[in-house]
Structures are given as structure tokens and as C-alpha cells.
Amino acid sequence: MIDLALVKAALKEDLAGGVDVTSVSTISTDAQLTAEFVARDSGVIAGIEMAHAVLTEVGLSNIEVLVKDGATAKAGEVLIRVTGNARAILLAERTALNFLGHLSGIATLTSKWVDEVAGTDCKVRDTRKTTPGWRELEKFAVRMGGGTNHRMSLSDAALIKDNHIAAAGGVKAAFNAVRSAFPEAPIEIEVDTLEQLAEVLPLKPDLVLLDNMTPEQCQAAVKLVAGQTKLEASGGITIEQAREFAQTGVDYIAIGALTHSAKNFDIGLDVRSK
């Protein structure tokens, strides 16, 4: 996936209207390099297309992509090899690494969550807790790690939460208002208790979010719903608890940490020749 506008903005931010004073001072205009983007860790890679776009944007064309987005790489594996103007390569270096490191971190973390629930019917899903301007990229990285996406934007579907219920004057009023205004929109409702779940079931929501419930409560919710709607567990779930929640029978576990707390994946640029 490529967001060319973000590539341009990142490079513009890095130069801030000036030039790379270090490279201009130390490297001749026509100097050539071959350099490789190398994984320092093992994990799932995302951001290859963005890194390629960065290299292209600075005028480089001899670019060899060795690992595709979504692939698993081992420590020491070369992801991209580029040959061309030395100043251009060094100008692109940090911006390309920023995209690769952050997005691969998300993909790698997501893959660990997915592995934890393997063998169950539960899917790992992200949230809207994304970096402003990076949402499509971060959610793409989640998919590369084997996860699934929740709504991309507020306009995709309705998620009726406690504040909406309070503002509308009750859960039924909130549900009916959404259904009236947007009859085709999927509707998800958040509940905090099994009693609230029983109350919203007759409304026939497309999905119910079980907020901060224990695995035992989630299991009871699955039994109560009996297939009438899909269920999503959310709120403070750790990766150590992932399998326990998945085995309750919920359809999804929603994990904001996939995008807001993923550790940067260590990738470096190594110069191979001059």
C-alpha cells in the first residue's frame, strides 16, 4: 500500500525547506552507492511499498525489492537493495526506515496475537486508536500481520457507546435514531453487563461489544446470545489472556495496542559499496 501524499509530506518535513547539510558537505554530487535495508529482528514485514515510494520520490530507480509486505523475515535478511546517487539514498534513509519500522512493528505484534488465538474461530481486530494521518497504513499493517480491521472511519458503521446512549436518552432511542437516519448502516452496540446485553438483543444489532467483561462473562454472553448476533470482547485484554477470551466463543477481540503500542521493528540501512 502506498500513500504518496504522506511520503511527500515526510520528506518535506525532514528537509524543512533546506538541504541535507551533512550529505551536501561530505558527499560529492555524483557519488554512487549500493545500500541494503536489513532486518535486525525476525518478524512480519509491512511498509515495503512505502519505502519503495520514498526511494522513488528522491529520484532513485535501481531498486530491488527482495521481501514483500506480509512476508516473514529473519534477522539479517535483506529487504530492499538500492543502487544510485549517494545523497539521494541518505536523504531517503530515515523516512523509509520510519515507515518500515513502524508498520513492521504493527504487523509483527498483530501476528503474535493471531498466533495466540490460532485454532479458535475468534479473530483479532484493531480499533480507531491510530496515529493521525496514518490510519490506512496502520490498518494495512494489521492485515499484513493476519488481523482484521474494524471500521476505517466513523462513516463506515455505527458504534453506539455509553455517551451516545446518554445523549439520546436510552439505548433503544439511540438505536432507533441510527436506524432511521442510516437504514443500511451496520450497528454495533457497547454493553457493560449481561443485563444490558439482554436489553439490546431484541433490537437485533449487527454486533455487540462486550466492554471490560471477564472471560467468564464473555462465555455467559455467548450462551445468552446463542448466535443471534456477533460478539466482540474489548477493554484491557492482554496477549497472555488472548486465548482464554478466544475460547469463550466470542467472534472478535478488539486490541487498540496493535496500532498504538507496537514496538518499532528494528531495520537498518547498510552501505555495501561506493
CA distance linking residue 178 with residue 186, whole number of Å = 10
Q: Which of 81, 128, 129, 243 is catalytic?
A: 129
Which is the catalytic residue, given 81, 94, 128, 172? 94
Beta bridge mates, 132: none
Is 272 a known active-site residue? no
Cα gap 184→141, rounded to integer Å: 29
C-alpha cell at position 194 = 449481561
Q: Is 190 a catalytic residue?
A: yes
The Cα–Cα gap between 163 and 229 comes to 22
> What DSSP state is assigned to residue 240?
G
Question: Is residue 94 annotated as part of the catalytic site, yes or no?
Answer: yes
SS3 6: helix
244 belongs to the catalytic site: no
Give residue 40's identity as a one-letter amino acid code.
R
For residue 220, give the amino acid letter.
A
**Catalytic position from the list 161, 172, 179, 230:** 161
CA distance to 89, 120, 211, 227, per residue, from 218 (Å): 52, 15, 10, 13
Q: How far is CA 231 from each of CA 19, 24, 168, 237, 269, rounded to the nearest angstrom?
A: 53, 57, 23, 15, 44
- Catalytic hit among 188, 190, 232, 251: 190
Report residue 3 as a C-alpha cell. Answer: 500513500
Cα–Cα distances (Å) from 255 to 116, 212, 214, in that order, read: 13, 12, 15
For the question of residue 14 being annotated catalytic, the response is no
Q: Which of 93, 211, 232, 251 is catalytic?
A: 211
Residues designated catalytic: 94, 129, 161, 190, 211
